[in-house]
Amino acid sequence: MKNKKEKVIIAKKTENNNPTIESAQKFPQGFVSNLASEVAKTLSKMPGFKGGPRRKSNPKKKKIDNPIFLDTSAIIDGRIFDVIALGVFTGTFVVLESILSELKHIADSQDMVKRVRGRKGLDYLEKLKKGRLNKFMILQDLEDSKNKEVDEKLILAAKNNKGRIITCDYNLEKKAAIGGVLAINVNTLANHLKITAVPGEALHIGILHKGKEMTQGVGYLDDGTMLVVENASEDLGKTVDVVVSRVIQTTAGRILFAKKI
């Protein structure tokens, strides 16, 4: 009997019936199967190999539909909820856990005014949550923002979710703008919605109280715009016809000055 390690000559026929010779090496019995088993074990341990263990993929973060983040100042102010009730905003209103904690802290304040505002803010959020016209959710703070201030957490969360911020805080509005996040200031929005009057325009106004100067009388338009009327201190409680003389724009809003006709 020939040695197992000897070369074996195998004859094959090609398509032209010409014999070709192929040589092969014989290995000890079981060597090939053992080798194949070891290779299979090695491959099975490689990540991503079919049949082997796969790395756990991070679950995809659920996208929030057009997120609108509410700041504490806007919540306790309350005016924005009247605007929301009109259906002006569309999307998902989001409140961070840190904002909610801050609001609860205000609601438990020893200061009566703060306590009332804080509790009203919580009531506003409860009504918004139960409303059918808008979506509402409470969002956990980002892991990498735990040691940051509330304003920074809010800006980071809005930027990460490609959302907007609604606030009454001027400084937060500017910080958000620097961080590339759109912040809508309720005070600015209210000023833009006020009646626009120009010098020379005639108005019918009621004089409610005296101005800083003894001869001035003060009245208000329907939207709350202050109108200072010269020589109207004696017309308290009366309605007079006036003509606008000048308009001053301040950080608090517009102030109109007028003269009696």
**pLDDT tens-place values along the chain, 261 residues long:** 444 444 444 444 444 455 444 444 555 666 666 666 776 666 666 665 555 555 555 556 678 989 999 999 999 999 999 999 998 888 999 999 999 999 999 999 999 999 999 999 999 999 999 988 889 999 998 877 777 899 999 999 999 999 999 999 999 999 999 999 999 999 888 878 877 788 999 999 999 999 999 999 999 988 888 999 999 999 999 999 999 999 988 766 788 999 998
Helix, strand or coil for residue 34?
Answer: helix
1: which 2 tokens? 């009997």
DSSP 126-165: HHHHH-SSSEEEEEPPPGGGTTS-HHHHHHHHHHHTT-EE
Phi, psi of 36 (to 5 degrees): -60, -40
C-alpha 223/C-alpha 210 separation (Å) is 20
Last residue of a domain, one of 138, 167, 192: 192
Phi, psi of 219 (to 5 degrees): -135, 175
3-state helix, strand, coil in the chain (%, to 5): 35, 25, 40
Alpha-carbon torsion angle 190, 192, 194, 197, nearest 10: 160
pLDDT at 47: 60
Does 78 share its domain with 180?
yes
Cβ neighbours for 254, distance < 8 A, ≥ 6 positions apart = 191, 194, 197, 225, 226, 247, 248
Does 180 share its domain with 89?
yes
Does 206 share its domain with 90?
no
Does 71 share its domain with 125?
yes
pLDDT at 23: 46
Does 101 share its domain with 162?
yes
The strand ranges marked E within the chain are 8-13, 19-24, 67-70, 92-96, 135-139, 164-167, 183-185, 202-206, 209-210, 217-220, 226-230, 239-250, 253-260
pTM of the model: 0.63
Domains: count for the chain: 2
pLDDT at 2: 47
- Report the half-sphere exposure of 32 (CA within 13 A, side-chain side): 5
Q: Distances in Å between the alpha carbon of 135 and those of 11, 104, 172, 189?
A: 79, 22, 24, 22
**Residue 166, in any domain of the structure:** yes
**Residue 161, in any domain of the structure:** yes
What residue numbers bound the domain in which 216 lies?
202-260
**Residue 211, in any domain of the structure:** yes
The residues pairing with 138 across neighbouring beta strands, listed in sequence order, are 95
Phi, psi of 22 (to 5 degrees): -125, 130
**Residue 1, in any domain of the structure:** no
Query: First CA to last CA across the chain, in angstroms?
Result: 133
C-alpha 124/C-alpha 192 separation (Å) is 24
